[in-house]
């Protein structure tokens, strides 16, 4: 899946370059802009190339062709700078960077204007975020972003009306730390907002057990979802969401039903259940990573960090739920047995509801 996406992205880039360099055949040229960002230890700078048609539309210039004259470009430089300042934002580790346009020149052969820009104060950057919504009047407009680090092209992305930001992680110690912080937080957040994953873990804990038994169960779940999360996030195995999401719901139903059957059959297979269904849940976790995007130069670290975040979220659930149930079981055994039955029925009902919802 990932390799296909890369092929399509490169194909789109090739088409964009061909269209941009071809002679104009209609009133509206290809709806592309080009943002080059160059990072070095001492500076953050680059160029922004805009079609004269789009500039003329935004600045109410009657004849776009006049922007082929350097004097005309200079006359509109202040208005053009105000326009792009409002629509292009650069952030370093969440802090907005102040940048200035230090040059503007017409590119007559491309019917475009090239702006040269530079960040005023260059901080040590771990994560650089670029936001661009340059010409919202045209829903088809795209901004092609090239990131250079120490003179080498390291990343290419496309921003559009449906995706107006992209994060870049530098190949520095600050970049590695930014990857770890970003993806650990993403893992915690995904657990916190995922009621299906939370209910699955709670279902596994309802019967209680020794600390060793509970650790074995959660470790089995961790092992399962770590395997499939890595396979799916790397594009090796990518089952469709319309299969995985109902399967996750069925796993919740199974855990609830299994809790009710344990007492009559006298066996506890929760570790095996956790391992098997962890494989299913891992594909669900991977969908989040695919939406977020993995930094190409830090695949291993980002996957590891996301898993760390997921484990932190799960650990919080285990500590809270196991502590409460353990205290109830120690002082009110009858109430604890009622909670197991009632809780398992709730787990089954919720899983069944999600299954029907996701199938239909």
Q: Using one digit for the tens of pLDDT, what is the confidence trace for 286-328?
A: 877 766 667 777 778 888 898 899 889 888 888 898 899 989 9
Beta bridge mates, 46: 37, 117
Mean pLDDT of the region 202-210: 88
CA distance 302 to 182: 8
Q: So what's the pLDDT on residue 6? A: 46
Contact (Cβ atoms closer than 8 angstroms) between residue 235 and residue 2:
yes
Percent pLDDT > 70 in the chain is: 89
Contact 83, 89 (CB under 8 A): no
Q: Check whether 276 has a pLDDT greater than 80.
A: yes
Contacts of 304 (CB under 8 A, 6+ apart): none
Give the pLDDT score at 230.
87
State the average pLDDT over residues 159-187. Answer: 89
**pLDDT > 50? residue 8:** no
Averaged pLDDT for residues 172-199: 88
Alpha carbon 50 to chain centroid distance?
A: 28
Task: Please report the pLDDT score of residue 265 as a whole number.
Answer: 57
Write down the pLDDT at residue 129.
93
Q: Cβ-count burial of 192 within 10 angstroms (0-12 exposed, 13-18 middle, 19+ buried)?
A: middle
Euclidean distance between the first and final Cα of the chain, in Å?
26
Tell me which residue of 194, 195, 141, 196 sits closest to 164, measured CA to CA: 141
Position 12 scores a pLDDT of 52
| Residue appearing with tokens 């909670």 | 339
Q: How many CA atoms lie within 13 A of 31 on its CB side?
A: 14
Which range among 15-29, 65-79, 151-165 shows the weakest confidence by mean pLDDT? 15-29
The sign of the dihedral angle between the CA atoms of 135, 40, 110, 106 is positive
Return mean pLDDT, the chain.
Answer: 85
Q: Taking residues 350-359, report their average pLDDT.
A: 92
Count Cβ neighbours within 10 Å for each residue of 219-234 and write b for 16 or more, e otherwise. Answer: ebbbebbbebbbbbbb
Look at residue 46 in the predicted model and tell me its pLDDT: 95
Residue 24 contacts by C-beta under 8 Å, 6 or more apart in sequence?
Answer: 111
Confidence of residue 26 (pLDDT cuts 50, 70, 90): very low
Helix/strand/coil for 157: strand
Question: What's the pLDDT band for 1 if we cut at 50, 70, 90?
Answer: very low
- Region of poorest pLDDT, from 72-86, 167-181, 258-272, 326-340: 258-272
Write down the pLDDT at residue 42.
84
Radius of gyration (C-alpha) of the chain in whole angstroms? 27
pTM of the predicted protein model = 0.74
């Amino acid at each position: 899946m990932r390799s296909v996406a890369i092929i399509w992205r490169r194909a789109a880039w090739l088409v964009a370059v061909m269209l941009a360099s071809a002679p104009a055949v209609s009133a509206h040229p290809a709806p592309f802009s080009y943002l080059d960002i160059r990072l070095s230890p001492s500076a953050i700078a680059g160029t922004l190339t805009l079609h004269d048609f789009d500039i003329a539309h935004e600045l109410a210039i009657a004849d776009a062709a006049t922007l082929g004259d350097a004097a005309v470009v200079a006359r509109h430089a202040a208005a053009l700078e105000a326009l792009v300042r409002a629509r292009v934002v650069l952030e370093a580790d969440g802090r907005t960077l102040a940048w200035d346009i230090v040059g503007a020149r017409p590119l007559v052969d491309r019917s475009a204007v090239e702006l040269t820009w530079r960040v005023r104060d260059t901080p040590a950057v771990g994560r650089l975020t670029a936001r661009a919504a340059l010409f919202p009047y045209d829903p088809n407009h795209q901004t092609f972003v090239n990131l250079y680090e120490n003179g080498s092209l390291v990343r290419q992305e496309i921003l559009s009306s449906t995706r107006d930001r992209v994060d870049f992680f530098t190949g520095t110690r600050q970049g590695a730390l930014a990857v770890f912080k970003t993806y650990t937080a993403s893992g915690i957040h995904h657990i916190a907002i995922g009621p299906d994953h939370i209910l699955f873990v709670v279902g596994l804990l309802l019967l209680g057990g020794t600390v060793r038994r509970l650790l074995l169960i959660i470790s089995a779940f961790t092992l399962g979802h770590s395997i499939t999360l890595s396979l799916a996030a790397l594009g090796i195995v990518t089952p469709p969401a319309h299969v995985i999401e109902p399967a996750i719901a069925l796993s919740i139903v199974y855990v609830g039903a299994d809790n009710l059957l344990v007492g009559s059959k006298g066996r506890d297979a929760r570790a095996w259940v956790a391992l098997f269904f962890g494989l299913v849940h891992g594909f669900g976790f991977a969908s989040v990573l695919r939406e977020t995007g993995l930094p190409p130069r830090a695949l291993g670290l980002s996957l590891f960090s996301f898993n760390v975040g997921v484990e932190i979220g799960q650990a919080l659930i285990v500590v809270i739920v196991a502590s409460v149930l353990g205290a109830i079981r120690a002082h009110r055994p009858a109430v604890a047995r009622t909670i197991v039955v009632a809780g398992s029925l709730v787990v089954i009902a919720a899983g069944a509801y999600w299954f029907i919802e996701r199938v239909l």
